[in-house]
Structure 1
Amino acid sequence: MHKIEKNNLSVNQLVKEILERDIFLSVSLKKGYANLSAVTRTLMPLVESRLGKKLNQEALMSALKRNRDFSTNFEPGIKKVLAQSSIKLTTGMVKIVIPNAYIQEFLDAMSDEFVKDTAYMSIGMQHTTIILEERIYDVLPRNLNRNIIDNRRSVAVMHILSPESVIETPGFLVSIYERLAMAGINVEETTNSYTDAIIVVKDQDAGEAFTSISDLIKFSRINI
């Protein structure tokens, strides 16, 4: 879901966006755990700031009532896998793309660093994407640069480790990507290997992306 531009916002759209981003708030409203009036007062400054105008409290409360039935619903199998998953975030990474013909040349240059540090590689039909720490990239031989066809600094890697049951759980990765889309996060690169999922986002989006997936995991653990 794309971020909604300020001049196109309605109260209903904005409330729906807030509830999509905050799993715990949406569930609390749906199940009656949260006081509707208190939530309205808390959200009022944020909503007015996003709308760029004063808002009637009753209008915001009505929008919350209309949207409080929204909640994140997953198949039990997906929720169970999420509950057993963990996530790690690494910022300050570099993503480079090279033709497959030069893979060995890069691996030879990085062999010592691969053992000690964080690096990921995804091999396609014609090109290979390598994601590594900026400090490793900065000490690579300069002559390797001529073979790099794309170079992006300041990216972050979310490493999601799941139980083996993820292999037999359709829709698991879709649930992750949908959650990021709801948060307005653009995925730069993604790959998976057995029980590992690697998702690359911009450094500037790293905090929100991590919180979105971490909350999803926490939500699954308490609602399994």
Structure 2
Amino acid sequence: MKTIAACVEELLVAQPFLEEALARNIINYSALAEELTTPVSDMLRKPVKTGAIMMALRRYSPPPDLGGSPRLKKVIKNLGDITVRSNLIDFTFLNSQSLIKSHSKLLEHIQPNPNVFYAFTRGILESNIIISNAQKAHILNCFKNETLLAQKEQLSAISLNLPENNSKVTGLYYQIFKRLAWEGIALYEVVSTTNEFTILVEDELIDKAFSVIKRLKA
């Protein structure tokens, strides 16, 4: 049987911004308890008093790293170079038996030109290609026998070099996504390797996104 404490925890975990504010003691417990009264009552299918919810909030222990552990802060401070690329286009193709062959044709074409921005991601049902807009005609030619699911132009990318062992630090990506979300920046695509992280946004958002990423280290 669910308890009030379990319901409160479930609601907080589903809202990490709220959970972090609670961890930093910058939230009004009484107001939050009033806000959670209806959803908790719905989850338990019976009326719940605000005082009981407030008690559950005060007893709740957020994850210790949620607000930024010393290790996380050190990694953020040591983030590497930021690279911005513009005039990009994003293609999404349906996966097929011939897709790899089409892809190899594209690689042969761009291999002599190291300045071409290119990223390829293969999912379960579809594959995604991000490439310089100047290569649009070649993409359409190489993949002319494939099923094009989506095509988006006027995109820009911000690439960020990450410190070694970043994958062992809890909350790094959360901090990046959180700050972008707070600024109302929608991400069109995200690509990452072991020590490099790239976000793709619409051109009109690139200046704002770059400012957010740059301030991460401040």
- Describe the shift of the 1:199–1:162 C-alpha distance in structure 2 as closer, same or farther (beyond 3 A): same
Q: Structure 1 stretch 95-104 or stretch 129-138: which is displaced more?
A: 95-104
Distance, in Å, in 2 between the alignment partners of 1:135 and 1:176 is: 30
- Describe the shift of the 1:87–1:143 C-alpha distance in structure 2 as closer, same or farther (beyond 3 A): closer
| Structure 1 consecutive aligned stretches of length 4 or more whose deviation exceeds 2 Å | 109-112, 138-147
CA contact (8 A) 1:109 1:141 kept: no
Distance, in Å, in 1 between the alignment partners of 2:82 and 2:181 is: 18
1:126 aligns with 2:121: no
SS at match of 2:213: helix
CA contact (8 A) 1:89 1:159 kept: yes
Distance, in Å, in 2 between the alignment partners of 1:141 and 1:178 is: 36
Determine the structure 2 residue equivalent to 1:91.
Answer: 86
Per the TM alignment, residue 166 of structure 1 is displaced from its structure 2 partner at its CA by: 0.6
Per the TM alignment, residue 134 of structure 1 is displaced from its structure 2 partner at its CA by: 0.1
Equivalent of 1:104, from 78, 101, 104? 101
CA contact (8 A) 2:106 2:142 kept: no
Per the TM alignment, residue 100 of structure 1 is displaced from its structure 2 partner at its CA by: 2.5
In structure 1, stretches of 5+ residues that fail to align are: 1-72, 220-224
Aligned partner of 2:103: which letter?
A: F
Per the TM alignment, residue 174 of structure 1 is displaced from its structure 2 partner at its CA by: 0.9
- Describe the shift of the 1:169–1:216 C-alpha distance in structure 2 as closer, same or farther (beyond 3 A): same
Distance, in Å, in 2 between the alignment partners of 1:199 and 1:104 is: 27
- Describe the shift of the 1:142–1:160 C-alpha distance in structure 2 as closer, same or farther (beyond 3 A): same
Note the 1:1-224 alignment, pairs <5 A: 74-85=68-79, 86-101=81-96, 102-114=99-111, 116=114, 117-142=116-141, 144-145=143-144, 147=146, 148-217=148-217, 219=218
Q: Which protein has the bigger helix share? A: 1
CA contact (8 A) 2:103 2:142 kept: no
Higher relative contact order (CA 8 A, sep 6+): 1
- Describe the shift of the 1:80–1:122 C-alpha distance in structure 2 as closer, same or farther (beyond 3 A): same
- Describe the shift of the 1:193–1:143 C-alpha distance in structure 2 as closer, same or farther (beyond 3 A): closer
Normalising by structure 1, report the TM-score.
Answer: 0.60
Give RMSD over aligned pairs: 1.8
Normalising by structure 2, report the TM-score.
Answer: 0.62
Greater radius of gyration (CA): 2
Distance, in Å, in 2 between the alignment partners of 1:160 and 1:84 is: 11
In structure 2, stretches of 5+ residues that fail to align are: 1-66
Count matched residues.
146
Per the TM alignment, residue 75 of structure 1 is displaced from its structure 2 partner at its CA by: 2.0
What fraction of aligned residue pairs are identical, expressed as a percent? 18
Per the TM alignment, residue 143 of structure 1 is displaced from its structure 2 partner at its CA by: 6.2
Deviations 1:14-43 (A, max 9, x none): xxxxxxxxxxxxxxxxxxxxxxxxxxxxxx
Determine the structure 2 residue equivalent to 1:22.
Answer: none
CA contact (8 A) 1:98 1:128 kept: yes
- Describe the shift of the 1:82–1:138 C-alpha distance in structure 2 as closer, same or farther (beyond 3 A): farther
Per the TM alignment, residue 145 of structure 1 is displaced from its structure 2 partner at its CA by: 4.3
Aligned partner of 1:106: which letter?
A: H
